[in-house]
Structure 1
Amino acid sequence: MKAIVNYEDGQKKVKLMDVPVPQPASGQVRIRVAYCGICGTDIHIFSGDGGYPTKPPVTLGHELSGVVESVGEGVDPAWIGEKVVSETYYHTCGTCLYCQTGHKNLCPEKKSIGSAVNGAMAEYVVVPAKNLHKIPEGVSLQEAAMTEPLACCAQGVLEFGGIRPGDKILLTGPGAIGLMCLQLAVSAGGEVIVAGTRADTERLELAKELGASAVVFSDQPDAEAQIAALCPPFGPDIVFDCSGAGPAIQMGLRAVRKGGRYVQVGLTGRPTELDMNLITLKELAVYGTYAQKTEWWVRSLDLLRQKKIQLKPLISNVYSLDEWDKAFDGYMQKIGFKYLLAATEEGR
């Protein structure tokens, strides 16, 4: 079968390869992949910048939708033919502090598809059956392939954001993740200002269509003054950084009001300089959010079922596996929003 493989450590050590079709072991299923989304972590792996570790050779991809084709021993055969998405954790220990307290995303033994084990930028992928979620009626396979990033956003916004109706929120970084977080924050009753650079003009226009109360160009000299004027009297109650960019992080910490809340959603990929006095002297509550827990998959799929979150406007293009390099290039050039790879006939 065709697969996009990180074949060794280093920069741009990724190519389309022919690899064996995987076989499901006990407790596993094989999914015929319809679509696989490209994520920032895939770009870190492709760039070889150390922003996300892998264990090559490994097939990339963890944002998937597809159809269960076969099941291993002990798995209900009723799964065969079901349209599904899958959580990304191929293995967690189940016994550590984090697993026992519902935080399997922090398990020190965690192995995820697309980095530690073979992922879904391929015609087929094998995952544990316990990771499966059925795609609700009325949700397309393309939308469903974006459930994983939506679940990440839902955890960051709805678990750590602490949003109350009427809260004034600054969101930096209007990419696909930022625009998902925007919709979640608006659905929770927040009034959201979205900040991005002049290069993000198209993205900021879509942010307004998806519910932003205002947009600000963060690379303009008066950006912080504009944000303060939009969030009287003391500034935003909550800041979500979805960019992972040092200047945006620093601006967010300066802008948030005293006693406010700051949530880091985007990965920086490298160490970032911070003024820790902003956190101390302003008595900020600062949170990081990483990956997602099962409850946010369930909530995200239900939000899609209810049509409360729009994902179709975020899909910029769909490419075949043979054209994976075009999709990666578009993502890296920040052209559009989200790119999907169509792996099999379900996606084509």
Structure 2
Amino acid sequence: MSRSAPFSDMAGIRAALSRLPGPDRAAIAAAQARNSALTKPPAALGRLEDLAIWYAGWRGDARPAFGTPQIIVFAGNHGIAARGVSAFPPEVTVQMVANFRAGGAAINQLARAFDAVMEVVAIDLDRPTVDFTENPAMSEEELVSAMATGWEAVDPGAGLLVTGEMGIGNTTSAAAIAAGLYGDGGEWVGRGSGIDDAGLMRKRAAVEAGIERHAEALSDPLEVLRRLGGREIAAMAGAILAARYYRLPVILDGFICTAAAAVLECQQPGALDHAVAGHVSAEGAHAQLLERLGRAPLLSLGMRLGEGSGAALAIGVLKGAVACHSGMASFAEAGVSGGEN
């Protein structure tokens, strides 16, 4: 299967979003029938049952095996970082990419723990996006290129996808995207990497200035992403879109990943039907963003690291759901009475 992105301009991205494939309805029906016959009381496994049926539908198999997860960490640098909106300098992005590639970050450990294949995709780290308070963060060509990079990083043969990110200043871009999509300006702004009160004021001012600067374009979600986002955020959106075409289930990570995903959902309602929220982060606006998207998180552990770490941890929940669904015996197979109740 070709991994080339099926678009070369923004019109092509819009076209791709207009023809999204759906799940296998026959597999869903068969998975529901299987679930009702397993050796347990009805609904005894709670959300695990729903997760397993959802996974079965996207994999097209009523009794699916759990495929190898793919974790992709995208990295990019942001012009908005020059406004003092992060507790760390931009060079940390490059340093952390090296740490990912050396296997020293938290996401590396979680990838190993859940038998996931992990890749790191750094996008033009020597060329930050434009400060979005002054001009659009990316040109149309840069946005398309970043989304294509995300698309082409996805393995069609994976069992599911997790996208993570690294980019100093990217919680500011994520807050600006959320504000652009849903309004409420600075209410989406949090402390991100741990900025102090003065930094929080600078961050809120940057988001509000960006919203004011690009007000005329905010009715178009892809323009919101282009004008206020970053290359790694656009790449995550492209990867999540590719996963939909490959019918790969997606586990969303924290605030930044969810902001990228929200662009797709706002552009085309239903675009995230193949995605679940892995966790709710300690970045306050994440819970609000998940609520807007109608996504209940699988985990709530006070995490705020990014990198895909919360979603990676949630792989274990989904893996357990599929193991129970596909591995348990039915009442008839086990010779257990009560299956008719």
**Does the pair score TM above 0.5?**
no
- Larger helix fraction of residues: 2
Name which structure has the greater RCO, CA cutoff 8 Å, separation 6+.
Answer: 2
Give the TM-score, by structure 2 length.
0.30
Answer 1 or 2: which has greater strand percent: 1
